[in-house]
Amino acid sequence: MSPHGLRCACSSTRKRRGYRMHRAFAGILAAIACIALGWAASQAFQGRSYADDRAEIDELFARYLFALDWQDPGMYGSVFAPDGVLVWAGGTVNGREAIVEEIRNARAADQRANESQPGLRPFRRRHFISNFVLRIDGDRATARSLWFEFNNDGPDRRPYVGAYGHLEDELRRVDGKWLIARHQVFNEQREGMTAGDTNPAW
C-alpha cells in the first residue's frame, strides 16, 4: 500500500471514531436533558399540588367561618370529617352529627337572647382567622392560626373585640376533599382554654 493510501485509511478510521464519540456525547447530553426536564416537571407538579391543597384548605376555613357566624348547622357540619372532633367552649364534641346539633343549640340560645331584647336589633358575631400556618403530608395536614371575634351584644350595639386566641387543626382528605378531622379552639378569655408557653406553630 502506498503511503498515500495509508494516510487515507488512518483518516477514515479517525473520522469513524470521531463520529462514534460525537454520537455518544450527544446521547449523554440527551439523557441529562431528560433527567433535568423530568426533575423540573416534578418540582412544578409538587408546587401546583401544594398550591391547590392550600387554596382548598383556605376555602374550607372560610366556609367554616361563614357557617359559624350565620350558625348554619348544615354547612358547619360539612367542613368536618364524619368522625371529626370539635373542642371548644362547649366541651369536646365527637362526630359530625353531634357537631351539627351543637350549632343548632348555639343558634337557639342566641335567638332566645335576641328575643329577650325586643327593642334592639339582633346582635351579631363575626370571627376572623389570620397568620395561617399549614403543613401538608400526603392526605393529612396540620394547621395553626390566630383568631379573634367582634361582637355587638351590648345595649347600644357598639362593636367590640369579644375574644381572641388560636386554633389547632388536623385535617384529612376524604374522597378527594379536605375536611377537618380535629378542631381545637384556644380562647384567652376563658380559664382552661388558654395557650401554653410553647409556640404551637412548630
pLDDT of residue 152: 97
Residue ranges of the chain with pLDDT lower than 50?
1-3, 6-10, 36, 39-45
pLDDT of residue 12: 55
Q: What residue ranges define each of the domains in the chain, with the CATH number in brackets? A: 51-187 (3.10.450.50)
CA distance 191 to 99: 22
Sheet strands (E) in 47-139: 80-88, 91-94, 125-137
pLDDT of residue 45: 41
Q: Which amino acid is residue 157, in one-letter code? A: R
CA distance 133 to 114: 36
pLDDT of residue 31: 62
Q: Which three cell numbers stand for residue 80?
A: 368536618
CA dist 117 → 111, 150, 154, 165, 187 (Å): 10, 20, 10, 29, 27
